[in-house]
Chain A
Amino acid sequence: ELKVEQNPLFLSMQEGKNYTIYCNYSTTSDRLYWYRQDPGKSLESLFVLLSNGAVKQEGRLMASLDTKARLSTLHITAAVHDLSATYFCAGGSPDSNYQLIWGAGTKLIIKP
């Protein structure tokens, strides 16, 4: 059974700093998704990572996937206040062709 763990669960940082959110998963998963959720809003897809070594970048966010280490990272470069949100990772369950297994989310607060 796939388990997905994110850390940290809460992160408060200053604008301009760099930081990384980690998403570890327990068994084989060949795909990993990152989503963003603003307070009181729905989830928005950020990145789709479908192969080992995949790297995707959008603005100040970069996501990568290492299937051998069972690890995905979301790296924030020179953080700005607008990136404050909760970030979720989700892995494809090897037991089901239809379900995503979700991490608990990382609440990111970026202070001016």
Chain B
Amino acid sequence: NAGVTQTPKFRVLKTGQSMTLLCAQDMNHEYMYWYRQDPGMGLRLIHYSVGEGTTAKGEVPDGYNVSRLKKQNFLLGLESAAPSQTSVYFCASCRSGGPGEQFFGPGTRLTVL
């Protein structure tokens, strides 16, 4: 099993550009999450999904959109990137609620100039 994978690993954008980050999991997990981690900081939840076709806002959703068209994939979109969105983005998944133990992808390091 590959677990949780993220594409791309690194990206540099100019202010105003758009991009989509892809998260894929092969563990048949119901729940998926997008977090951002700024240097020396903890995790902040951007959006999450409790199943195929569902999404919900987390702590810091502004400037991001998400979609979960397939159970195994969770996409994070930046429509008009800003320097404040420079961060490392982690995707995570878990099997069940409760909430359950989350398994993390390797991260995407995004720089917005």
Contacts and interface: CB of A to CB of B under 8 A. Distances in A.
Interface string B82-113: 00000000101000011101111111000000
Contacts of A25: none
A100 B42 contact: no
A98 B99 contact: yes
A21 to B, nearest CB: 14
A48 B43 contact: no
B61 interface: no
Contacts of B2: none
A79 to B, nearest CB: 22
B105 A97 contact: no
Given A98-B48, A99-B48, A104-B42, A42 B104 contact: yes
Contacts of B50: 98
B97 A33 contact: no
B77 interface: no
Interface residues of A, number: 21
A93 interface: yes
Nearest to B91: A42
Contacts of A45: 101-103
A109 B107 CA distance: 23
A105 B56 CA distance: 25
A92 B101 contact: no
Interface of A: 31, 33, 41-45, 48, 88, 90, 92-93, 96-100, 102-105
Interface of B: 31, 41-43, 45, 48, 50, 56, 58, 90, 92, 97-99, 101-107
13 contacts: A31-B98, A33-B101, A42-B105, A43-B90, A43-B92, A43-B104, A45-B103, A98-B56, A98-B99, A99-B58, A100-B99, A102-B42, A105-B41
